[in-house]
Every structure is written in C-alpha cells, then in structure tokens.
Amino acid sequence: MLIQKSNDIKSAVITPKEFYLNRRQFMLSASAAALATGAALSGLDWTGGTPEVLAGEKLGNVKKSSFSTAEKQNSFKDITSYNNFYELGTDKEDPATNARYLTTRPWTVSVEGEVRKPKTYDIDALVKLSPLEERVYRMRCVEAWSMVIPWLGFPLSSLIKLAEPTGNAKFIQFVTLLDPKRMPGQKLPIMEWPYVEGLRMDEAMHPLTILSVGLYGEILPAQNGAPIRLVVPWKYGFKSIKSIVKIRFVEKQPPASWNRMQPQEYGFYSNVNPEVDHPRWTQATERRIGEFLRRKTLKFNGYGDQVAQLYSGMDLKKFY
C-alpha cells in the first residue's frame, strides 16, 4: 500500500525518539531516557484491573439532532478498537486492551473557577442534566485519519449556563482524571499528567461542542473516554479530552497538553485546516478508517459554515 505509506503516521502522535528533542519532557524524569530506548510499556505491569461492569449498558431517550452528518458511520468495532488514549497505552490497540483498568464509578466532575455556581456533580446526575442527543460527527485526528462517530451527549453550553460564568471567564480548562491505578499509562513520563485541554469561551458555548457520555446508543466505553469526554468536531481529535474530572473557568488561556509539549507542532486552537501542514506531514488529505483511498481534508473538518465566524479576523496560519 505504497500510496498510504508516506502519510500514514504510525502509532503515537509523537514517537519515543522525539521525547529527546523536547526540553520539557526531558526534564520530567530520568526515565525518559529509558523510554526512548523503546522500553516504553514493557516495564509496566498491565495485568489485573477490574472488569468495566457498565460497558454495553444502553442509554435510553435519545433525541436525533439536526447537527448530524448523514455520512456512513464507522463500525462500533473501529470506533472502540482504534484509539488514542495515552493513559491506557500509546499504541492504537492498547486502550481497548487496557479498558478494564478505568473504573468509572464513583466519579465526580467539579465545575469551578470564575463561576457564580461552582458545583461538584456526581456523574449519574450529570448524565441526566440535559436531554441526550445523538450527534453523528466527523472526527479528524491530527495524525491524518478520520472516522464518523454517532456520539450521545448534550451541549456543553447547558452546563456552562448552570454554572453562571462571571465576566472574568474567558476560557475553560478541562482536566482528565489523575490516578495511575486506573490509568496505568500515567506511570510513564510521556506527558505531564493529568492530560489537560482548553477552549475559548465562545468555542465552548458553540452548539456543536458537546460533552459525550455514550456512542452507538450505549454508555461510553472506557477507551473512548468514559464516563464523560469533550467532543469538538471542527478541531483535531486531541482537543476532545477524555475522562474529565474538572471543568475550570479561567481568565487566561490555559495550558493544553499537546500544545504545551510540542508548541511548534500543535497549536492551542488546532482547528482542522488543510492549508496548514503539520511540520512532519501534510494535513491536506486524510485516511477515513475503513477506506482505501485518501480523502481531501475539509477546512474546519467541514463545519466551516457553523464555526468560521468564531475566527474572523484571526490569521489561522499563526493561530494554528
């Protein structure tokens, strides 16, 4: 499959060798050197873990949404066996294999910072906060592959409205669970843990931005970010942070994991943009998982009609 080879970025978003090039990572731990030799996950004990008792549970009462694409959906198998989730391993197959570690009850999400109504939500209350909708979205990973995924979720804006942001709330920071027992990948210094992400307030309020708690009519599998994850379909996949425990309203642009680690390669905005190549590969085309020929990548992942105005007047080559 020669045509695919040059653009098919294997496995991780960055490769172990590149940890060497990164000052910040280098300082994280002396074991970064061991990691770069390829020892990566072999030093970890990946036995044990608890079966995820909730996996497969159906979520009822789901509305269809006019925001959904009619494109052919990827299979449940594709969506749940080809994942990026470094807390459960760096290879695409790892998160499904290691899903049993990530138990999701009890689980709380704390909404805090620049809000009038800070609150810690129990996950089961949060799922019932707003009617669940099915949103079939195109998802485009920064590594130039894509899928069509029928998410179940609700607009992030419903939660934001309940929190009553103050005038100082200009951005929202999202934080993943920090617990190396349930997320054994966190025992490795491959990134600064926990994984964090951020959105500007208007991006967070946009009707396309959802919190997802399921897919294909079922409760979210661990490997897809159970029990609750962000989904922002016009941005590269890494903005869609998984397994969230904290949503913090802040005044200044918050750190975002990939941007912090490799700012010359991953911007804070990370809007899908075929005109701005990644320094090491093209973003002009993509491989839809399950298809042979590459597709042309669409600006804002095809959601430009809805979101382009958020960035009017901004140089998207500079703010990539």
In angstroms, the CA 193 to CA 118 distance is 24
Angle at 104 between CA 73 and CA 269, to 5 degrees: 55
Give me the long-range contacts of 184-188 (CB less than 8 A, separation at least 24). 184/44, 184/45, 184/46, 184/87, 184/88, 184/89, 184/98, 184/101, 185/41, 185/85, 185/86, 185/87, 185/88, 185/89, 185/90, 185/94, 185/98, 186/87, 187/44, 188/31, 188/35, 188/40, 188/41, 188/44
- The answer to whether 225 contacts Mo ion (rule: CB under 5 A) is no
Instruction: Restricting to residues 186-215, name those near Mo ion by CB under 5 A.
Output: none
Count of chain residues binding ligand MTE (CB under 6 A): 17
Q: What's the closest the beta carbon of residue 79 comes to ligand MTE, in angstroms? A: 6
Helix locations, the chain, DSSP H: 2-5, 16-19, 23-28, 31-34, 76-81, 94-97, 123-127, 156-163, 201-205, 257-261, 304-307
Closer residue to Mo ion (CB): 141 or 152? 141
Q: What's the closest the beta carbon of residue 124 comes to ligand MTE, in angstroms? A: 21
Q: What's the closest the beta carbon of residue 265 comes to ligand MTE, in angstroms? A: 12
The entry of ligand MTE, Mo ion, none near residue 283 (CB within 5 to 8 angstroms by kind) is: none
- The answer to whether 83 contacts ligand MTE (rule: CB under 6 A) is yes
Count of chain residues binding Mo ion (CB under 5 A): 5
3-state secondary structure of 156: helix
In angstroms, the CA 223 to CA 10 distance is 19
Contacting residue, 141, 163, 172, 210, with ligand MTE by CB under 6 A: 141
Encoded one letter per residue, x for contact with ligand MTE by CB under 6 A and - for no contact, window 181-220 reads --------------x-------------------------
Q: What's the closest the beta carbon of residue 90 comes to ligand MTE, in angstroms? A: 9
Q: What's the closest the beta carbon of residue 56 comes to Mo ion, in angstroms? A: 25
Burial of 22 (0-12, 13-18, 19+ CB in 10 A): middle
The entry of Mo ion, ligand MTE, none near residue 99 (CB within 5 to 8 angstroms by kind) is: none
- The answer to whether 84 contacts Mo ion (rule: CB under 5 A) is yes
Q: What's the closest the beta carbon of residue 13 comes to ligand MTE, in angstroms? A: 6
Beta pairing partners, 231: 210
- The answer to whether 84 contacts ligand MTE (rule: CB under 6 A) is yes
Instruction: Restricting to residues 118-147, name those near Mo ion by CB under 5 A.
Output: 141-142
Neighbours of 218 (CB within 10 A): 16
Neighbours of 39 (CB within 10 A): 14
- Per DSSP bridges, beta strands 210-215 and 218-219 are antiparallel
- The answer to whether 241 contacts ligand MTE (rule: CB under 6 A) is yes
- The answer to whether 13 contacts ligand MTE (rule: CB under 6 A) is yes
3-state secondary structure of 180: coil
The residue sitting closest to ligand MTE, measured at its beta carbon, is: 237
Q: What's the closest the beta carbon of residue 156 comes to Mo ion, in angstroms? A: 20
Q: What's the closest the beta carbon of residue 191 comes to Mo ion, in angstroms? A: 13
Which one of 97-105, 112-120, 240-248, 261-269 is the stretch in contact with ligand MTE (CB under 6 A)? Answer: 240-248
Residues that bind ligand MTE (CB under 6 A): 13, 83-87, 141, 176, 195, 224-225, 237-238, 240-243
